[in-house]
Amino acid sequence: MNQEVDPVHRAFLGVEQSATGQRWVARLDQAGENRALAMSQTHGIADLIARVLAGRGVGFDEALEFLDPTLRRLMPDPYTLTDCEVAAERIAAAIARRERVAIFGDYDVDGACASAILYRFLSHFGVEAEIYIPDRIFEGYGPNPQAINTLIERGARLIVTVDCGSTSFDSLAHARERGIDVVVIDHHQVGEELPPCAALVNPNRDDDLSGQGHLCAAGVVFLVLVALQRLLRGRDPRAGSLDLLAMLDLVALATVCDVVPLKGLNRAYVVKGLVAARHLANPGLAALLKHAGIGGPVTPYHLGFMVGPRINAGGRIGDAALGSRLLTLQDGTQAEAIATQLDGLNRERQAIEVAMLAEAEAEAIAEYGTGENASVIVTAREGWHPGVVGLLASRLKDRFHRPAFAIAFDPSGKGTGSGRSINGFDLGRMVRAAVDEGILVKGGGHAMAAGLTVERANLGRLRSFFEERAARVVKELTAVRTLKIDGALSATGATLALADRLEQAGPYGSGHPQPVFALAAHRLVDVRHVGVNHLKLTLEGPDRGRIEAMAFRAADAPLGAFCLQRRGQVLHVAGSVSADHWQGSRRVQFRVSDAAEAF
């Protein structure tokens, strides 16, 4: 007698291999099913929402509080961060002594936001401050002695590095030799040895017990400023009139764009930051939202995929300081001018990316074939724009489902590279190990993203080191590609009310994935091309209910080919439910991520 297959291990709706080559599985095991049922029955949470919470590790006792993340409940005492009190006291002294402060930031969205938040805070107290963002190509990541000299010559008496500095030993030693204090506020992983500075606030340093290592740099800066405002309340009357919560729009933007886990304090940052963003109080952010053509309320998707790339465009192929400068402005006219410039740079970046991606994919296929036998994809070429390699790495990671690097070599043989990882594999740790082995000139990052500098002569050695280091873990992570399904749904059940309840259980992103539902046995009434590389589908359920669906960037992908060949057929379709805002109206939309035959 054949033993019955455990329901947990069955393929969801019997889908063993979908259009994108994935096996569909239920997200919840039996314990999760029981927890979801208990949440629904005891707390009165809608069944699908309870399933979403249970599938993301939310416990029975915390479910109601999870749906209402508050800063009051989730924010720790800032002084639990090692050196936070020291940093706050040093910056408070600079305010009291009216010292000129230089803010040294990174050239990505997190660095721009962190720099702008600190600048706006200091400006409120009349501090003369300047933001310095290094040129990605000519200066690289983090402080350098030449920039330190420049800032000192301009009158800086205190330098605060944000989103960088934790491993800048030589540059910070140089500043100390010149008699200048440096406060480092960062979140990147750091070893046992710490740089010489007045204070290093980094929840990822070994002796930090705050438990806030998931924060991005802007999130750490905000905690330091909470401590600083508290310190100044008894010393400076201007402290009482500062609305620090209004700056959460930039904290939310950085948190989403830096792809840090959306758990704990990060959830509150994003939820409350979205409220602030929707007030359009920051002229720079408002101008970017306008150029992005966002008609409805600001969502994490808008921040991550429409606003973030425009800010990043300055650091990638233009003036690296444009983004941070834009976010500090109070004048709408000036903000519109810079936003227009960034929008143009973003279009230029997109064109460069298309050409480079074609070359990178061709090289990856020639080197690794389908990638099934590779652990890490490493592509490299002379002439690539160093500012776009991170985007290439992300696309290659998505294409091959492996950690991926793209490296741009200059004529001298120096390579600047960026990597992106898959869930479960710590890329930053592997890169730091390569530095320790002497393979890389420098490198670092965090679990999901890393940067490196390598000499061309060491490229083969680097590939071998990465392959050997990642082989076992990546093989386990990619043995069977699965799509986790939160539950089944019908076109009739996909309502605006459901979309609103799902939004309350968000925000979704790293560590808190977007819920995926399956429309079971729905007929593909129509499918057609819209926009650039998108498909619009009309799906009809067994009860004759219909829903409009979008498969973004799918027209030339396996998912698109699958759908275009099956007009009129009955399919299982997986995707997410959201509210679509168009010309002042709201309607439900289903974003298609996968499809399969319905036998």
Token pair 């444009």 is found at 322
Report the pLDDT value the prediction gives residue 500, as an integer from 0 to 100. Answer: 93
Task: Delimit the domains of the chain by residue range.
Answer: 7-29+486-597, 75-344, 369-478
Whole-angstrom CA distances from 172 to 159, 176, 273 are 10, 6, 33
Token pair 């091959």 is found at 400
Taking the C-alpha atoms of residue 442 and residue 424, their distance in angstroms, rounded to an integer, is 24
Q: Which two tokens stand for residue 6?
A: 């455990």
Taking the C-alpha atoms of residue 526 and residue 568, their distance in angstroms, rounded to an integer, is 7
Look at residues 254, 228, 251, 248 and name the one whose alpha carbon lies nearest to residue 158.
Answer: 228
Look at residues 566, 552, 557, 576 and name the one whose alpha carbon lies nearest to residue 596.
Answer: 566
Whole-angstrom CA distances from 529 to 388, 491, 548, 550 are 28, 21, 13, 10
**DSSP letter (8 states) at residue 307:** I
Q: Which two tokens stand for residue 441?
A: 């000139």
Taking the C-alpha atoms of residue 523 and residue 520, their distance in angstroms, rounded to an integer, is 9
Q: Which two tokens stand for residue 114?
A: 């962190």
Report the pLDDT value the prediction gives residue 446, as an integer from 0 to 100. Answer: 82
pLDDT digits (tens, 9 = 90+) for 240-293: 999 999 999 999 999 999 989 999 999 999 999 999 999 999 999 999 999 999
**DSSP letter (8 states) at residue 13:** G
Taking the C-alpha atoms of residue 422 and residue 479, their distance in angstroms, rounded to an integer, is 13
Please work out, in degrees rounded to the nearest 5, the angle formed at the alpha carbon of residue 69 by the alpha carbons of 300 and 517: 55
pTM for this predicted structure: 0.89
SS3 state at 217: helix
Q: Please give the class, per CATH, of domain 75-344.
A: alpha beta
Token pair 């009482």 is found at 240
Taking the C-alpha atoms of residue 588 and residue 127, their distance in angstroms, rounded to an integer, is 48
Strand runs (DSSP E) across 136-283, as ranges?
158-162, 181-185, 199-201
SS3 state at 387: helix
Blockwise average pLDDT, block size 10, the chain, 599 residues: 50 95 95 96 95 95 93 96 98 98 96 98 97 87 94 98 95 97 95 94 96 97 98 95 97 95 95 96 96 88 94 89 96 97 95 94 92 93 93 93 96 95 92 95 87 96 96 90 94 95 92 95 97 94 95 92 96 95 83 95
Report the pLDDT value the prediction gives residue 9, as an integer from 0 to 100. Answer: 63
Look at residues 249, 75, 90, 88 and name the one whose alpha carbon lies nearest to residue 180.
Answer: 90
The distance between the two most distant Cα atoms of the chain, rounded to a whole number of Å, is: 84
* Assigned CATH for 369-478: 3.10.310.30
* Assigned CATH for 7-29+486-597: 2.40.50.140
Q: Which residues of 146-169 are buried (b: 16+ CB within 10 A; e: fewer)?
A: ebbeebbeeebbbbbbbbbbbbbe
Taking the C-alpha atoms of residue 285 and residue 302, their distance in angstroms, rounded to an integer, is 11
Please work out, in degrees rounded to the nearest 5, the angle formed at the alpha carbon of residue 225 by the alpha carbons of 219 and 228: 150
pLDDT digits (tens, 9 = 90+) for 529-578: 998 889 999 999 999 999 999 999 899 889 999 999 999 999 999 999 99
Taking the C-alpha atoms of residue 153 and residue 160, their distance in angstroms, rounded to an integer, is 16
**Beta strands at 101-105 and 129-132: parallel, antiparallel or unpaired:** parallel
